[in-house]
Amino acid sequence: MNMSGMTTAITPTPKVAAMNETKVSARDVQVYYGDKHAIRDVNIEIRSRTVTAFIGPSGCGKSTFLRCINRMNDTIASCRVEGNISIDSENIYDPKVDPVQLRAKVGMVFQKPNPFPKSIFENVAYGPRIHGLAAKKSDLDDIVASALQKAGLWNEVKDRLDSPGTGLSGGQQQRLCIARAVAVSPEVILMDEPCSALDPIATAKVEELIHELRENFTIVIVTHSMQQAARVSQRTAMFHLGNLVEENDTDKMFTNPDDQRTQDYIMGRFG
């Protein structure tokens, strides 16, 4: 296929809410793994078209909470979620909600790049195809090209879309996964330590991409790197022992946080 002459993207624009409006709202969220109370009383408003970073020590519940936002925890048998999480005021745990549709709306990028063992093209085309977003082959070509452009990967792969996705470098694979998430026009993108397996240059590219994606998407990123949280986000939430201890503007969070636990954690001190 030859799509190098393509200029316009026809991917439907995701529903764009005004910046800083609440996109995701969590009320009294509790998460249990069997008897273990992993998340306690989490209340948070995640703003639209804003990057929100979740930070906190290992095991603090930040990834668990992130996975509640697209109901990924449904796949864990012992996991039970209580409370209310809504996106655009719609309860995502309502029995009427189809988790597959929800996950099209709330995309996810994982710690390790996990492309399908298929071609670069197929990796990106898979989602739009199963969600019926393309009526004909040329529409699908356009969606794939547009997603790869948004993920900043287009120029690197446009001449080898048929090569296997697994043949790309780690950083390229991660951007391929971001393209795959973007291809189904989600409204929210969840990223669980997306750069922890990448070198500094690939990390910088992903961070630049996050900055660009923020124009159109609501992004929530879990990161162990405080510097990364400080660099990419506008809001930061600090988790500790299953509690959300502080949520604040990122600039405030890293210069003068309100909570002592946040202070100790970001400064690398013993509590």
Partner 1 sequence: MSSTHIVSVYDEELKYLSRKISEMGGTAEEMVGDSVRALINTDVPLAQKVISEDVILDTAERQINEKAIVTIAKRQPMAADLREIMGAIRIAADLERVGDLGKNTAKRVIAVQGSSIPRNLARGLEHLAELALMQLKEVLDVYASRNIEKAKEIRERDDEIDAIYTSLFRELLTYMMEDPRNITPCTHLLFCAKNIERIGDHATNIAETIFYMATGSQPEGERPKDDHTTSVGAVEE
Nearer to partner 1, 95 or 271 (CB): 271
Alpha-carbon distance 104 to 83, whole Å? 22
Nearer to partner 1, 138 or 227 (CB): 227
| Size of residue set near partner 1 by CB under 8 A | 15
Q: Kindly identify the residues of this chain, within the stretch 68-97, that bind partner 1 according to CB under 8 A.
A: none
Amino acid at 219: I
Is 60 near partner 1 (CB under 8 A)?
no
Give me the least distance between CB of 244 and partner 1, in Å please. Answer: 19
Is 263 near partner 1 (CB under 8 A)?
yes
Is 149 near partner 1 (CB under 8 A)?
no
Q: Which of 190, 230, 237, 245 binds partner 1 (CB under 8 A)?
A: 230
Is 226 near partner 1 (CB under 8 A)?
yes
Is 44 near partner 1 (CB under 8 A)?
no
Angle between helix 120-130 and helix 137-150 axes, rounded to 10 deg:
120
x-or-dash string of contact with partner 1, 239-258, rule CB under 8 A? ---------------xxxx-
Is 58 near partner 1 (CB under 8 A)?
no
Three-state DSSP class for residue 36: strand
Q: What end-to-end distance do the CA atoms of the chain give, in Å? A: 58
| Nearest CA-CA partner of 109 in 17, 22, 209, 201 | 209
| Nearest CA-CA partner of 128 in 187, 186, 212 | 186
Strand order across the beta sheet in which 51-55 lies:
90-91, 79-87, 22-33, 36-47, 243-249, 235-240, 51-55, 218-222, 188-192, 106-109
Is 268 near partner 1 (CB under 8 A)?
yes
Give me the least distance between CB of 234 and partner 1, in Å please. Answer: 17
Alpha-carbon distance 70 to 33, whole Å? 17
Q: DSSP assignment, residue 16?
A: -
- Map tokens 């864990």 to a residue: 76
x-or-dash string of contact with partner 1, 179-218, rule CB under 8 A? ----------------------------------------
Amino acid at 81: V
Nearer to partner 1, 117 or 271 (CB): 271
Positions touching partner 1 (CB under 8 A) are: 226-227, 230, 254-257, 263-264, 266-271
